[in-house]
A and B are shown apart, each in its own frame.
Chain A
Amino acid sequence: MATSSPSATSAREQSLHVRLMPIIDRYGVLLVVLGMILIGYALEPKVFLSFLNVSNIMNQIAFNALLALGVFIVIVTAGIDLSVGSILVLSMMTMALMAHPEKLPAWVPDGVRASLMTILPAPWYVLILVPPIVGVICGMVNGWGLTKLRLPHPFIMTLGTLNIFRGVSNLISGGVPISDLPEQVRWAGYEKIALTPDIDIPASLLVLIVVFGLMSIFLNHTRTGRHIYAIGGNPQAARVSGINVDRTLVIVYALCGLLAGMSGLLLAGRTNSGFPNAGLGQELDAISAVIIGGASFFGGRGNVLGVFAGALVIGIMRNLLNLRDVPVFWQQILIGIIIILVVYFDVLRRKAGSGREA
């Protein structure tokens, strides 16, 4: 950005270091992605960059990327949402049940069952709205809980709802998978869009691009989006500036829930079912993607592109290890190592960056 003040063009400002830091700051994780792509290409030159494999990776990371995006905006406010995996499964199972009311568990009273049967199964255009709506409701429960009950940290509230939402999901479904969903509902998670007769991209990639794009605009260019960053930077500053911090937090957790619901829709589409173990432990992959993507647990830092890159790093690594037939246990260990290394590099970089002040 050009400054209007003429004296501002000091030699110090022109130094490469000062101008380069913000760029590395913002896009450092993209270098990691690039590195992984090169490694992948070196190891599996035929398969890795093939169209099929790339489209595979995209399809596999899509639902984690959406979860991660939700967790990201929560982490920007210096909060945490542990319940996203449970929101995912609850929204998915609710939708599956509304498509297959005959699968309602035995404890449902006959009267209730009979009246539900008169309106269910719901048509596809209703079904497709169910996961996002369930997600928003769950997110608002989190948001209200943590602002109204004044629990000491969002960790507590969402640890509670992690259990509650999964419990409810098992309760209403009887803990059994429900498969077979309408074509239209599966579209986002399953369908491919033909660009040319030979080239098609997964619909989930399109969903990702649109959702990430909208989120980026929201965070960077709307008042509420900027207030989310301000709250993460200094909640007291936000409060004294007249920002309604509690209301903004409810919006943030509701949005996170919305994204978890959409993630459930994608996963249901991909697997053509709702299954009770969906999203189990997935919150940790989502948090990993956010942290690898450069967000800070202390809030106020990170961007949407970083989250996408973080999800990509995990996805590419899983893909590579699968291609090389590396056992799943090693994948876990490697992801752990990558998280620690990426954040460690970040610490080193910040040290170097603040060196001029020391």
Chain B
Amino acid sequence: MNDTSQTATPTLEARGISKYFGAVTALEEVNLKVMPGEVLGVVGDNGAGKSTLMKVLSGLHPASKGQLFVSGQAVHFHGPRDARNRGIEMVYQDLALAGNMRIDENIFLGREQLRGGIFVNHQANARKAQEHLDKLKIHVKSVSQRVEELSGGQRQAVAIARATAFDAKVVIMDEPTAALAIKEVRKVLDLIKDLKNHGVSVILISHRMDDIFYVCDRVMALFRGRNFAEAQLGQTDRNEVIGWIMGNKQQSTETSKNHDLN
């Protein structure tokens, strides 16, 4: 499961992705791939294009140019629903939860279990939500609590629970630890390790080197909307990665060359 050899098919691959917002170029010819059971860290300065790239991968933004492949198959997403149906889930930077609704409703939003084809099966959804949270070792008082009553860490957990409730192949997390206390950060990172051990691919965006060096197998840097550098974690160090974020590549190592995608 932890094998990330170059011969396997990537769970998710993006080739030559460009994204323009009117005159603004957010992404230019960006490549990315992630293997089964691999945790890919994505770093970059504010405005480097990390969130935009992830929104393209999760179907929220259509790419202006480029092609996506899921398990080697070319795909075209018309919206988040298409991406979710292909097993690509995302935890958004702003979490994207409906605070006025219950935890279980948020977890199954858009994918509610029905009874008789018409009515939402609230009992089944609540039970499944509880089971899923138990599996993730996430503790809440009750799944019928409204999300607005939860702490920041609990909300983060609910967002992660939603992204993992349906056997995701790829889970994309946009700065999941940015707003958390140390103890909760550790919990989220351990959760990522858990996902990895179940063969799920994870893409983690983070500004915290501690996060990157705790869970990732590989790290790639974006700079001004372009691929800048990448390396297996064992073949780089914090200072080098921090340099990449600032746009420095003096210590350019062989590893990063090897992993450059044509």
Mark A residues whose CB is within 8 Å of B: 1, 3-5, 7-8, 10, 13, 221-223, 226-227, 229-230, 232-234, 236-243, 299-301
Contacts and interface: CB of A to CB of B under 8 A. Distances in A.
A138 to B, nearest CB: 27
B80 A239 contact: yes
Contacts of A226: 101, 105, 112, 120
Given A222-B120, A226-B105, A240-B90, A234 B81 contact: no
Main secondary structure of the interface of B (DSSP, over half): loop
B91 to A, nearest CB: 10
B197 interface: no
A8 B141 contact: yes
Interface in B72-124: 79-81, 84, 90, 92, 94, 96-101, 105-106, 109-112, 114, 118-120, 122
Interface of B: 58, 60, 79-81, 84, 90, 92, 94, 96-101, 105-106, 109-112, 114, 118-120, 122, 126-127, 130, 134, 139-144, 162
B100 A7 contact: no
Contacts of B97: 234, 237
Given A10-B141, A242-B84, A237 B100 contact: no
B134 A5 contact: yes
B139 A7 contact: yes
A223 B127 CA distance: 18
A297 to B, nearest CB: 13
A230 B130 contact: no
Contacts of B58: 240
Contact of B110 (A233, A241, A300): A241
A272 to B, nearest CB: 39
A238 B98 contact: yes
A3 to B, nearest CB: 4
A4 B130 contact: yes
Contacts of A299: 100
Nearest to B79: A242
Given A223-B120, A241-B110, A300 B100 contact: yes
Nearest to A234: B98
B60 A240 contact: yes
A301 B99 CA distance: 10
Given A240-B90, A243-B110, A233 B99 contact: yes
Contact of B100 (A13, A229, A241, A243): A229
